[in-house]
């Protein structure tokens, strides 16, 4: 295949040539498809649980489906090591061709994989293997795409060029939401649950073919070609990246850049959606539509902040985004409550819920609301907390005297819990039912809604707040690729930037919803989960501000 000479992708005025546009399109489009593939599983986890984990009860099946999803995040850093090393040794183009084929084929295979009813235990085993392959592929894709585009970009334009790569995760999420909603709208719910869910996965083969065809037209990165000609290709990219002086820069890139960027990103796009549906009890379809609207409105700002970083620097914009987000998360999420579920806000103010108990008797209630009825918390405090947390009710725990019972107060109403540790199952069940009935009656009388009233949701205000959260995402994420690329030398750039990026986004960011939900479950405070992204973002501002340099004028050679 003919290669495009380096001169063909450079112009004296730094303008964008046809070759520039093609390589950005190829890199960005392929990465959009990879993110689309990755998000599909998370959006359809409930249905997948019923298809592949039917040997387990519904609760255990759902847990295993979520664990399989989490596995994709967990292995992303390993994909960064495997494919980063490959990209620094054999080239950027060939490596991210491998990653996109691996992702596309794995996703398509999920769409045709027989369920447990057909092939038994092999079904969930193969599914988990495919999820691991998806995570490995995604771990290698981003670094290759960002490095490839940055090494083609003219000086002073790298922030602008790489910002197009930064739109891909959001566009992939948006594309997955649109395809799923379209498929659900084209058939009844039963058909979608039985076989229609496979269609979005099968579409991956079409997306894969388009993206591979486009990428095959591209030449290798000009800087990598120069490095090959001069014999300076690294023979040990992992050792040079992390077991030398460069390792300090990689660690600072993680703690002083990508960790804060990641929690702002996952809080603005994923935790915000979780907060709407689980905490504020907004209808899932409406919440997805509002989030999709916010993504559409805010996505152009990835490019704007990338362009701006070429003028004022990467570091100031990313760290300012982390700081602004940390300072405003609490009022924004309280605003979401005010506009999305004003009945819940009013009930919390006029009839607050408290639990008075011996806190030493309280277990950690970190169990999804769908699973509460299946977990045996038997102390008086545990039983009371289960009744409250299982309904996603906001409450405050007050420490009682040692050995005291547990009392729930909903405004002026009082409900006494009981100790069920010594009760046989047949005696425990009716007492639990009476307690749950009393709680349901009390919270309904106090005005706590079972679901957000669609007629009372201020859709415009909710959309505006969601858009603001996604704008924070664009602020921290738009310039991050250019910043990471410029921190590391060409011979180990793919490896060096990929690992801190994927530890930051795969671990710090990917597990944010889980960590935040754990804090809410522990405290009963619906806003307690925000402390995790706030603390991480502030730490990034401090570490990045003190120890990382801005790289806007860096010479990639």
pLDDT (0 to 100) of residue 373: 44
Q: Write the pLDDT tens digit of every residue in 378-396.
A: 788 888 888 887 788 899 9
Mean predicted confidence (pLDDT) in 68-85: 82
Q: Considering the domain boundaries, does residue 262 fall inside one?
A: yes
Q: Give one DSSP letter per residue of 147-193, joined into a string.
A: HHHHHHSPTT-HHHHHHHHHTHHHHHHHHHHHHHHHHHHTS-HHHII
Mean predicted confidence (pLDDT) in 236-259: 89
Other CB atoms within 10 Å distance of the CB of residue 553: 10
Mean predicted confidence (pLDDT) in 21-45: 74
pLDDT (0 to 100) of residue 5: 41
Buried b (16+ CB within 10 A) or exposed e, 295-328: bebbbebbbebbbbbbeebbbebbbebbbbbbee
Rounded (10°) CA dihedral 357, 438, 281, 53: 90
170 and 56 within one domain = yes
pLDDT (0 to 100) of residue 98: 86
Domain end position, chosen among 445, 461, 492: 445
Mean predicted confidence (pLDDT) in 472-500: 90
54 and 128 within one domain = yes
Domain end position, chosen among 174, 199, 233: 233
Domain end position, chosen among 426, 445, 464: 445
Mean predicted confidence (pLDDT) in 299-311: 94
Share of the chain above pLDDT 70, in %: 90
pLDDT band for position 461 (cuts 50, 70, 90): very high
pLDDT band for position 337 (cuts 50, 70, 90): very high
pLDDT band for position 58 (cuts 50, 70, 90): low
Q: Considering the domain boundaries, does residue 239 fall inside one?
A: no
Residue 556 pLDDT exceeds 50: yes
- Which CATH number is 396's domain given? 3.40.30
pLDDT (0 to 100) of residue 55: 65
37 and 1 within one domain = yes
- Which CATH number is 210's domain given? 1.20.1250.20
106 and 91 within one domain = yes
- Across the chain, mean pLDDT equals 84
Mean predicted confidence (pLDDT) in 423-440: 89
Cross-strand partners of 345: none
pLDDT (0 to 100) of residue 369: 41
Q: Considering the domain boundaries, does residue 298 fall inside one?
A: yes
Q: Write the pLDDT tens digit of every residue in 143-192.
A: 777 888 888 888 888 899 988 888 887 888 888 888 888 888 888 888 88
% helix, strand, coil for the chain, step of 5: 75, 5, 25
Residue 199 pLDDT exceeds 60: yes
Q: Which residue has the higher pLDDT, 70 or 134?
A: 134
177 and 313 within one domain = no
Alpha-carbon distance of 461 to 257, in angstroms, equals 31
141 and 44 within one domain = yes
Rounded (10°) CA dihedral 176, 178, 180, 181: 160
Buried b (16+ CB within 10 A) or exposed e, 239-274: ebbbeeebeebbbbbbbbbbbbbbbbbbbbbbbbbb
Other CB atoms within 10 Å distance of the CB of residue 94: 13
Alpha-carbon distance of 81 to 145, in angstroms, equals 15
Share of the chain above pLDDT 90, in %: 34
253 and 138 within one domain = no
Q: Give which of 197, 63, 54 is closest to 120, Cα–Cα.
A: 54
Q: Write the pLDDT tens digit of every residue in 357-382.
A: 988 888 765 544 444 444 456 788 88
298 and 326 within one domain = yes
Q: Considering the domain boundaries, does residue 242 fall inside one?
A: no
Alpha-carbon distance of 342 to 488, in angstroms, equals 50
275 and 197 within one domain = no
Other CB atoms within 10 Å distance of the CB of residue 467: 19
Q: Considering the domain boundaries, does residue 501 fall inside one?
A: yes
499 and 420 within one domain = no
As for how many domains the chain has, the answer is: 3
496 and 367 within one domain = no
Q: Which residue has the higher pLDDT, 150 or 324?
A: 324
Q: Considering the domain boundaries, does residue 240 fall inside one?
A: no
Residue 142 pLDDT exceeds 80: no
Cross-strand partners of 396: 354
pLDDT (0 to 100) of residue 467: 97
Residue 533 pLDDT exceeds 80: yes
Cross-strand partners of 483: none
pLDDT (0 to 100) of residue 543: 97
- Across 173-177, 333-337, 525-529, which has the greatest mean pLDDT? 333-337
pLDDT (0 to 100) of residue 4: 41
Q: Write the pLDDT tens digit of every residue in 83-125.
A: 888 878 877 777 878 888 888 888 889 889 998 888 888 888 8
Show Cβ contacts of residue 474 under 8 Å, excluding neighbours closer than 6 positions.
166, 298, 299, 301, 302, 304, 305
Q: Considering the domain boundaries, does residue 241 fall inside one?
A: no
Domain that holds residue 534: 248-341+452-557
pLDDT (0 to 100) of residue 377: 63
62 and 193 within one domain = yes
Mean predicted confidence (pLDDT) in 411-416: 92
pLDDT (0 to 100) of residue 416: 92
Lowest mean pLDDT among 51-55, 57-61, 295-299, 553-557: 57-61
Q: Considering the domain boundaries, does residue 426 fall inside one?
A: yes
pLDDT (0 to 100) of residue 550: 93
Residue 498 pLDDT exceeds 80: yes
CA angle 273, 302, 94 (to 5 degrees): 100
The number of CA neighbours under 13 Å toward the Cβ of 374 is: 12
């Amino acid at each position: 295949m003919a290669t495009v000479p380096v001169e063909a992708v450079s112009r004296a005025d730094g303008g964008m040539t046809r070759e520039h546009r093609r390589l950005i399109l190829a890199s960005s489009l392929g990465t959009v498809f990879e993110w689309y593939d990755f998000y599909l599983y998370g959006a359809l986890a409930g249905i997948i649980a019923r298809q592949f984990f039917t040997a387990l009860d519904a609760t255990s099946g759902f847990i295993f489906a979520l664990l399989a999803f989490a596995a994709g995040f967990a292995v992303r850093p390993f994909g960064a090591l495997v494919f980063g090393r490959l990209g620094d040794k054999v080239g950027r183009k060939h490596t991210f061709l491998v990653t996109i084929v691996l992702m596309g084929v794995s996703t398509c295979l999920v769409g045709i994989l027989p369920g447990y009813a057909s092939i038994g235990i092999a079904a969930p085993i193969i599914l988990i293997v495919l999820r691991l392959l998806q995570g490995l592929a995604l771990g290698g894709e981003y670094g290759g795409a960002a490095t490839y585009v940055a090494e083609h970009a003219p000086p002073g334009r790298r922030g602008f060029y790489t910002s197009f790569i930064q739109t891909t995760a959001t566009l992939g999420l948006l594309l997955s939401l649109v395809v799923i909603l379209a498929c659900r709208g084209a058939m009844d719910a039963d058909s979608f649950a039985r076989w229609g869910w496979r269609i979005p996965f099968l579409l991956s083969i079409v997306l894969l073919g388009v993206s591979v065809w486009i990428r095959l037209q591209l030449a290798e990165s000009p800087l990598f070609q120069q490095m090959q000609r001069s014999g300076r290709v690294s023979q040990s990219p992992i050792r040079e990246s992390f077991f030398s002086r460069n390792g300090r820069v990689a660690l600072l890139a993680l703690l002083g850049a990508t960790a804060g960027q990641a929690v702002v990103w996952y809080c603005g796009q994923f935790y915000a959606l979780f907060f709407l549906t689980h905490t504020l009890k907004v209808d899932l379809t409406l919440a997805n539509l509002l989030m999709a609207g916010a993504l559409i409105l805010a996505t152009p700002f990835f490019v704007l902040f990338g362009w701006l970083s070429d003028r004022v620097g990467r570091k100031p914009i990313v760290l300012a985004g982390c700081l602004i987000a940390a300072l405003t998360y609490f009022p924004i999420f309280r605003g979401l409550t005010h506009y999305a579920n004003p009945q819940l806000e009013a009930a919390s103010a006029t009839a607050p819920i408290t639990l008075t108990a011996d806190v030493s008797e309280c277990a950690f209630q970190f169990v999804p609301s769908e699973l509460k009825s299946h977990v045996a918390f038997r102390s008086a405090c545990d039983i009371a907390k289960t009744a409250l947390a299982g309904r996603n009710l906001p409450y405050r725990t007050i420490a009682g005297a040692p050995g005291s019972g547990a009392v729930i107060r909903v405004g002026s109403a009082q409900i006494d819990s009981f100790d069920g540790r010594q009760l046989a199952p047949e005696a425990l069940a009716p007492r639990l039912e009476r307690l749950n009935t009393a709680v349901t009656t009390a919270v309904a009388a106090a005005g706590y809604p079972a679901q957000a009233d669609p007629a009372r949701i201020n859709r415009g205000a909710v959309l505006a707040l969601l858009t603001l959260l996604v704008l924070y995402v664009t602020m921290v994420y738009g310039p991050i690729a250019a910043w990471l690329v410029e921190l590391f030398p060409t011979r180990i750039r793919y490896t060096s930037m990929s690992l801190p990026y994927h530890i930051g986004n795969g671990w710090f960011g990917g597990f944010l919803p889980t960590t935040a939900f754990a804090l809410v479950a522990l405290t009963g405070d619906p806003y307690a989960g925000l402390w995790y992204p706030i603390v991480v973002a502030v730490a990034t501002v401090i570490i990045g501000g003190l120890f990382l340099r801005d790289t806007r004028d860096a010479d990639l050679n």
